[in-house]
Chain A
């Protein structure tokens, strides 16, 4: 080692800079919201009034029960159906499996509230399917709203997510395990429960956690389709921006309750999967085999139904975007009118989306790669702390992050509210953990000898990083960055707390247009968003040379 201990080298400096960024845009706002729930910064008075207010009325406490009900039901249903789908498509040969996988991936990547909106168009009070059904059977269906509607939208939306995860785990399961079980006399359902499920359980739990977090944090879907059924993110939004005015302490208190909730679930999942984690690698993966008769028919039906329902919302907005509108109603005929209107009235939002997301992704990649590199290759106490802190945003829902940033930066000297910077900062904080994690994984796969070879040939550490390590990481980091970009352009729950007129993004525009009933413009914007997603997806396929994605 050439570096002397007391010298602050470039890597330490980088670590410290990243630390500062996190301290400023994450630790400070989050601790502010925690303190803000029991302490009034203006008057300097400690009080538990906000919590008392929350727990005194069932109007508020019900939102916890509602959220818990929705999240657990959706998580259970999606883990069951998603895993079943993954197992079936892994063992039974399904025709057009490639197309099915693409449909699943596109569905996972599309913004969740588009699903809510599309299902209202189909099954809402005045929905296409509802109307036909009511005329045909002479009944009046109320349409899907409230609990059942939320459940339907979320379940259909999240099954592909679990499917992709569990499929990945099943790919790593060696077929000889199946054969060993069979040769010892264990077949059918018993084999699934005794061998297959225990082996993929960690993945099922991990994907379950992901579904749980996403559903719990999702604000758009219950807002659009829930009507009277209020969940925690809806309550936060309403208490902060909406109907009840700005009760900061109350919003902070709800945020604290949500974070406690997510932390418990997160720790529980970590505890279980740490105990059950099993390393697997498949020499001979399971081969899907053609099935016969009823088994074949049912397998195909189930797979196609899941894929069809997953992409149906996308087709609905696609068709709607070209349909002529008259005020709030769709009328006969197709044209580009909605697109024209979208560009003229929402041009700003479209531009903002691409500018903000691109700025954020550049920051994310630079910080992500550097943090990953220091924590994998230059391990120290400092990098370990940084590594841990950068994982916290996992458990902070977007709306909580939004409120935290807003409360922290609404006054001089840190007056950032209403700026583009605060939205970009929210994007960076929310997405950075994923980039760090994927970059670290890539680094772990690069043999240290390669870097040592470079140094033995006369390159210093920095040159080695730039000339050897970085190029080897490039394709992995690039595809990861593109996937992050996709998730950023669909972000709603944090940015809706932070936007002002000039910093509106497409997702916010879609949400507000749907609320106003301008379905045409909303559809056109959604289609632009989804098209961007698909273009990026094709780019990722091209870069990685694989027809699959890292989530």
Chain B
């Protein structure tokens, strides 16, 4: 049985250092929920509070209606996958997977049946009797996943499970984990610092910084409509152009530093004339054109499917533009102009760094 997780006003302190000041979070039943942030943002700390390995200094944690603050980890019915897998090195793969079932007094032949079935699901049936020391990282990862899921936990907690794998294996395991999670529909909290991983796997993502949730949303929402400048720059590549609000024909618009006007109808009403803003444009949203922002190509890098250009603006700022590599290739030193669709940009207040865009339609 999967559960919904409710966290109300969580506080975490280590000594007199506050890691998480006041955090509320609601994870839906069966959801794949990711905590995303750079190291030290408190994401692993929060995960370990849910698991019961960290003390909770304030607030309430609920699995459905059950308050779990004071329950020891082994009574919370969680499955946990650790960053370094934490495979018991003295037990075979099969023994590792069966371990939790034994603790739950599951008897043969059901024990073997469930272990075998699980090993099948993670595709390591042939390794059942092998010792972990002779296994690759990916294989150990599969054991760790099987061991956590086979006990049919209410919640699956994963702490950067893919960070020790090489790039190719990581992508393979991403889809494996996602597939298995969908199959079993276990409420999952997944911790990572890898935005690509978060975007590709999650139902919803919470972006964290300094113990505070910056934004919660689906991958698309977070990518397309970041709530503040931090989220905009943390998720994906962003070029930031300085500008200010001007009023033309009774419409609020943005004037960039070199005088270009961006006409957008998505600005919120609270914007004031002459307010300083930062305009965030993704490198792939920019096009070479006859009009628009002026610049000079400083360098270009071929990346296979795309060509990346470093372009210097008149104010010496260097921005990035990426184009399909099959398009016309521009030369270094060439003067260009860059146009972009004002509806696809995000505009933030210079000082508060909060979004000045209306909610997505």
From the candidates A182, A183, A184, A279, name the one contacting B133 in the complex (CB within 8 A).
A279
In the assembled complex, the CB of B20 is this many whole angstroms from the nearest CB of chain A, namely 19
In the assembled complex, the CB of B17 is this many whole angstroms from the nearest CB of chain A, namely 16
Contact flags (1/0) for A154-176 with B, using CB distance below 8 Å?
Answer: 00000000000000000000101
Contact flags (1/0) for B50-82 with A, using CB distance below 8 Å?
Answer: 010100000000000000000011111011101
Is the Cβ of B100 less than 8 Å from the Cβ of A278? no
B84 at the binding interface (Cβ < 8 Å): yes
From the candidates B74, B89, B133, name the one contacting A199 in the complex (CB within 8 A).
B89
Is the Cβ of B103 less than 8 Å from the Cβ of A185? yes
Which residues of B lie under 8 Å from residue A280 when comparing CB positions?
89
- For B81, the closest partner residue in chain A by CB is A180
Q: Give the total number of A-B pairs whose CB atoms are below 8 A apart.
A: 65
Within 20-69 of B, Cβ neighbours of A (below 8 Å) are at 51, 53
B86 at the binding interface (Cβ < 8 Å): yes
B90 at the binding interface (Cβ < 8 Å): yes
Measured CA separation A508–B342 after assembly (Å): 94
Q: A184-B74, A184-B147 are in contact. Are A177 and B51 (CB under 8 A)?
A: no
B99 at the binding interface (Cβ < 8 Å): yes
Is the Cβ of A182 less than 8 Å from the Cβ of B72? yes
From the candidates B79, B83, B104, name the one contacting A183 in the complex (CB within 8 A).
B79
Is the Cβ of B90 less than 8 Å from the Cβ of A174? no
In the assembled complex, the CB of B189 is this many whole angstroms from the nearest CB of chain A, namely 13
Which residues of B lie under 8 Å from residue A421 when comparing CB positions?
none
From the candidates B74, B75, B86, B151, name the one contacting A176 in the complex (CB within 8 A).
B86
Measured CA separation A182–B82 after assembly (Å): 13
B88 at the binding interface (Cβ < 8 Å): yes
Is the Cβ of B104 less than 8 Å from the Cβ of A185? yes
A550 at the binding interface (Cβ < 8 Å): no
Within 272-302 of A, Cβ neighbours of B (below 8 Å) are at 276, 278-280, 283
Is the Cβ of B99 less than 8 Å from the Cβ of A183? no
Q: A184-B147, A184-B151, A278-B90 are in contact. Are A176 and B73 (CB under 8 A)?
A: no
Which residues of A lie under 8 Å from residue B104 when comparing CB positions?
185
Is the Cβ of A184 less than 8 Å from the Cβ of B100? yes
Q: How large is the interface on A (under 10, 10 to 19, 20 to 34, 35 or more residues)?
A: 20 to 34
Is the Cβ of B86 less than 8 Å from the Cβ of A179? yes
Count of residues in B whose CB is under 8 Å from the partner chain: 25
Q: A195-B88, A198-B90 are in contact. Are A176 and B72 (CB under 8 A)?
A: no
In the assembled complex, the CB of A202 is this many whole angstroms from the nearest CB of chain B, namely 10
Which residues of B lie under 8 Å from residue A180 when comparing CB positions?
80, 82, 86, 88, 147
Contact flags (1/0) for B136-169 with A, using CB distance below 8 Å?
Answer: 0000000000011001000000000000000000
Secondary structure class of chain A's binding surface, majority of residues? helix
Is the Cβ of A174 less than 8 Å from the Cβ of B74? no
Which residues of B lie under 8 Å from residue A177 when comparing CB positions?
86, 88
Measured CA separation A226–B277 after assembly (Å): 90
Is the Cβ of A183 less than 8 Å from the Cβ of B88? no
Is the Cβ of A186 less than 8 Å from the Cβ of B74? yes
- For B96, the closest partner residue in chain A by CB is A180
Which residues of B lie under 8 Å from residue A549 when comparing CB positions?
none
Which residues of A lie under 8 Å from residue B82 when comparing CB positions?
176, 179-180
Which residues of B lie under 8 Å from residue A187 when comparing CB positions?
72, 74
Which residues of A lie under 8 Å from residue B72 when comparing CB positions?
182, 187
Which residues of B lie under 8 Å from residue A186 when comparing CB positions?
74, 99, 103
Q: A177-B86, A276-B90, A280-B89 are in contact. Are A185 and B74 (CB under 8 A)?
A: yes
Measured CA separation A187–B80 after assembly (Å): 15
In the assembled complex, the CB of A229 is this many whole angstroms from the nearest CB of chain B, namely 40
Q: A198-B90, A276-B90, A279-B89 are in contact. Are A183 and B80 (CB under 8 A)?
A: yes
Which residues of A lie under 8 Å from residue B84 when comparing CB positions?
174, 176, 283
Contact flags (1/0) for B95-131 with A, using CB distance below 8 Å?
Answer: 0000110011000000000000000000000000000
Q: A186-B74, A198-B90, A276-B90 are in contact. Are A179 and B99 (CB under 8 A)?
A: no
In the assembled complex, the CB of B104 is this many whole angstroms from the nearest CB of chain A, namely 6
Most buried by B among A176, A180, A184, A279: A184
In the assembled complex, the CB of B283 is this many whole angstroms from the nearest CB of chain A, namely 36
In the assembled complex, the CB of A516 is this many whole angstroms from the nearest CB of chain B, namely 54
Is the Cβ of B51 less than 8 Å from the Cβ of A183? yes
Which residues of A lie under 8 Å from residue B76 when comparing CB positions?
183
Is the Cβ of B99 less than 8 Å from the Cβ of A184? yes
Contact flags (1/0) for A181-200 with B, using CB distance below 8 Å?
Answer: 11111110010000100110
Q: Given contact pairs A185-B100, A278-B89, enumerate 8 new A-B contacts (beta carbons under 8 Å).
A: A177-B88, A180-B82, A183-B148, A184-B103, A185-B74, A185-B75, A186-B99, A195-B88
9 contacts between A and B (CB under 8 A): A179-B53, A180-B80, A182-B53, A183-B148, A184-B103, A199-B88, A199-B89, A199-B90, A283-B84
